[in-house]
Each structure stands twice: as C-alpha cells, then as structure tokens.
Amino acid sequence: MRFKDYTVIVTGGGYGIGKEVALAFGREGANCVLAARSQAKMEAVAAMLRKLGTKPLVVPMDVGSEEQCAEMVQRALAQYKRIDTLVNNSGIAGPTKLARDITHAEWMESMDVNLNGAFYCAKYVSGPMMEAKRGSIVNISSVAGRIGYALRTPYAATKWGMIGLSHSLAAELGPYGIRVNAILPGPVAGERFDNVVSARAKAEGKTFEQAMEQWVAQVPLRRQVTELEVAEAVTFVASEAASGITGQAFNVDGGFRMQ
C-alpha cells in the first residue's frame, strides 16, 4: 500500500489512461480526486474506487478554466487536508488535418485542455505542496512530444509543451522536495487510439486496418502498449521508489522511437 491515505488528483480520470491511473492508485490506498467534464464516467470509476475501500471525490470541471482548476484544488484540500500527487492526464486528440486548415478555435481548444489545464492545476497544487515540502506531479505527455507529427500539429505542440513544463517545474519546485516528471505513452490500445487511427486513415485515404498496421510496424514489440502499463509507470514515478527522480520524461511506447 505505497499510497495509503495519500490524496491523488487525476484529471481526465473518467476513462482510458486516467481511469487506469486512478484505479492503480486506489488499489494502493490512495483517495483519488477525479476531475474532468465526463461526470457519469467519473462516477462509475468512483464506485470502483469505493469498492477498494478508498474515498474518492468527483469534481466535474473544465481544466481549460483557471478558475475551475483553483476551485477543484480547494475542494480537494477541504476534504482531505493534503495533496500528495497531481496527475495531469486530461487531453484531447485535436484535429487531424493540415496546419493551414486548422481553425483558431481548434488550436485554442487543444492548448486549453492539453497544456493550459496542466499548468493551472500545477500552479494551484504547488502552494500546498511547497508548504508541506513534499509532493509529486506527473504530466502525461506523448511520444508526439518528441517527434514531428504531420496532420496533428496542435496535439504535438501541446505534448512538446508538457515536457518543457515538466522540466521547468522540476527545477523550480525541487528545492521544496517536489518532484515533477512526464510520462510519454506511445500507441495505447483502446477506443481513443482507434479514433486517432480512424481519423488518420480517412485523411490519408487508407483503410483503418492499413493505418493501424502502419503504426504497429513502427513498434519493436509489435503491439500497442496498454493503459495499465502506462498507469504502472505513473505510480512508479510518483512513489518513494523514485524519490531521486525528477525532471525526466519517460517513454512507455514499446520502443516506438527506436525505429
């Protein structure tokens, strides 16, 4: 029970990677704050967490709103009196199209959800963590944060930004005992990645099967990683086993960048 009675905020905690991250912390005793727009999905995850014997808090919110991020952190403090870990997981895929065809609204939505929200949440948890002189922030970036990504410019830009945010916060907060790291998933099996592949297949005039085969061929393990594999990496870097690790960006991608 590495996280017994810890308070862990997981944005985007209602489905996908966020759901698995929350359950992974819950299995080890953490009380999770689930923060996202998808209230019904978060309530379902909260029910699973209660069965594990923990006390989750569901906060419906838009992470792109600084005011709502500040309020969410205050609600967490009011209920649990402490914040040990923040997992900035909320994100959207954004448009799949040429940069010249991307609208201002599409660009800003990606920035607000994927990057601005992570900054706002980190901003408001940093105060309580600095007072406690301990804490961990884990930012969910992507392998797209280290490569050029044609047809997905807004997404890639935000994920590169998440790595820069992580390095900068690690330098700033390290003297207070707060660690900040990034996890970079590669192709992750699940509905979200299927939608990404479908959009790319359509944009490139391919079938879904052809597009998926193209992705998997770039992975030395010749498979997609799982949401649970990503969640296990998150819990590791948040744990005391990683107490000397900060300012790092770890790929969980089956070796995707090795090709």
Could you give the residue numbers annotated as active site? 155
Structure-block tokens of residue 80? 């649990």
Q: What is d(CA 14, CA 27) in angstroms, rounded to the nearest whole number?
A: 16
Q: How many C-beta atoms lie closer than 10 Å to residue 234's C-beta?
A: 29
